[in-house]
Chains A and B, each alone.
Chain A
Amino acid sequence: MCDTCGCNDPHNHPHDHAHPHEHGHGHSHEHGHPPPVRTVPVQKSALELNQRLADQNRGWFRAKGLKVFNLLSSPGSGKTALLERTLRDLPRAAAIVGDLQTENDADRLRAAGAQAIQITTGATCHLDAHMVAHALEKLDVAGLETLFIENVGNLVCPASYDLGEAKRVVLLSVTEGEDKPLKYPVIFRNADLVLVTKTDLAAAVGFDREKALAAIRQTAPRAQILELSAQTGAGIDDWLAWLRT
């Protein structure tokens, strides 16, 4: 370890040496002790590459006339069930779905009659713009108007990654606990729409609707809020209308 600057390479870079004693040899120059390090400004975001690719995706979506929605929630909030229902009711729509493993979600959506592309991320906890760009290579855009990107079920990491979407939709199911937006405020703050899902189960789980709505309004002050059940179809019309706005 280099004692002067703390880095691990003591031999390959000279430092002004700090002697407590007088030097025996004559220096022709001033024996100063300049700062041993210098600062190199960088100013670069860790997400710069993702942002560039997201902007490319966004340009591509615009060129193809595609309206794109990024769906985010914890695992099991009903993203895929909502898409099954939505893709049956909304023509000219397709989905890209992200999971760590399996084609199960894409299979479910194909069974609903729609084009669906699965991204399996392996161990990665979110989708990024690069993965989406590769999925787009497999997408048949002819006649498409709407594309859903179902993110990996996770309320933390996906918040950091712009995929190029037009709108962010965050789902909160009634079975999850009304204070979830307070526990995961970062992802909710970026939402354009918060969907309260599985409303058919609200009574069974003692869901406190007012408490949940207050938590959403606090953490996602700019978001619109809709409530629905993909199971019964309650609230689906409002959702479809929002998608068309």
Chain B
Amino acid sequence: MHELSLMSNLLADAAAAADGAPICALRVRVGPLSGVVVEALRFAFEALAPDTPAAGARLDVEETAPAFHCPRCGADYETPVGAYQCPGCGAADGELRGGHELELISIEVPDHV
């Protein structure tokens, strides 16, 4: 359940970005190699958000897939978790380019203008 402490970091970053405004939505990017379970992250959000400027806010989660660049044949490819071979040449030593993210992309705040 390290999702609780990670969500608490995301909420703190969101509050800092909101700069005193109430937060309407958080957009979060989660990769399957981050070690984070999206359902647990949502649960943590429900538990923690009410005491923050994000009370009542929407949590939008953008899920990514493991993404690699093959150093042998130059292919860029995505894989399921646990099977990382290059579909082009079968090489197993692709350089990880995505799928390990756990980041706050943006927040939505009321437009006062």
The answer to whether the Cβ of A79 comes within 8 Å of any Cβ in the partner chain is no
* Residue in A2, A186, A222 whose beta carbon sits within 8 Å of that of B81 in the complex: A186
Interface set, chain A 37-94, CB cutoff 8 A to B: 37-49
The answer to whether the Cβ of A160 comes within 8 Å of any Cβ in the partner chain is yes
The answer to whether the Cβ of B98 comes within 8 Å of any Cβ in the partner chain is no
The answer to whether the Cβ of A12 comes within 8 Å of any Cβ in the partner chain is yes
The answer to whether the Cβ of B33 comes within 8 Å of any Cβ in the partner chain is yes
Q: A42-B17, A46-B9, A47-B102 are in contact. Are A5 and B35 (CB under 8 A)?
A: no
The tally of residues in A whose CB lies under 8 Å from a CB in B reads 47
The residue among A5, A41, A222 with the most chain B CB atoms within 10 A of its own CB is: A5
Give the distance in Å from the alpha carbon of A9 to the alpha carbon of B107 in the complex. 16
A14 touches B104 (CB 8 A): no
The answer to whether the Cβ of B23 comes within 8 Å of any Cβ in the partner chain is yes
Give the distance in Å from the alpha carbon of A38 to the alpha carbon of B24 in the complex. 9
B92 touches A39 (CB 8 A): no
- Please report A residues at the B interface, Cβ cutoff 8 Å: 1-2, 4-9, 12-15, 34-49, 124-126, 156-157, 159-161, 181-182, 185-187, 189, 217-219, 221-222
* Residue in B5, B35, B84 whose beta carbon sits within 8 Å of that of A221 in the complex: B84
B56 touches A6 (CB 8 A): yes
Chain B contacts for A6, CB-based, 8 A: 24-25, 56-58
B109 touches A38 (CB 8 A): yes
The 9 closest A-B pairs by CB, nearest first: A8-B56, A221-B92, A185-B82, A5-B24, A160-B35, A9-B22, A8-B55, A13-B110, A157-B2
The answer to whether the Cβ of B64 comes within 8 Å of any Cβ in the partner chain is no
Interface set, chain B 78-108, CB cutoff 8 A to A: 81-85, 92-93, 101-108
Chain B's nearest CB lies how many Å from the CB of A211?
Answer: 15
Q: A5-B108, A42-B14 are in contact. Are A221 and B93 (CB under 8 A)?
A: yes
Give the distance in Å from the alpha carbon of A2 to the alpha carbon of B58 in the complex. 12
Give the distance in Å from the alpha carbon of A39 to the alpha carbon of B17 in the complex. 10
Return the chain A residue nearest B110 by Cβ.
A13
Give the distance in Å from the alpha carbon of A236 to the alpha carbon of B38 in the complex. 40
Chain A's nearest CB lies how many Å from the CB of B8?
Answer: 9
Interface set, chain B 47-82, CB cutoff 8 A to A: 50, 54-58, 81-82
Chain B contacts for A157, CB-based, 8 A: 1-2, 35
Name 17 extra pairs, CB < 8 A, besides A9-B56, A39-B107: A1-B56, A5-B24, A5-B110, A7-B56, A7-B110, A8-B56, A13-B112, A15-B110, A37-B111, A42-B104, A42-B106, A44-B13, A47-B102, A160-B34, A186-B34, A189-B33, A222-B92
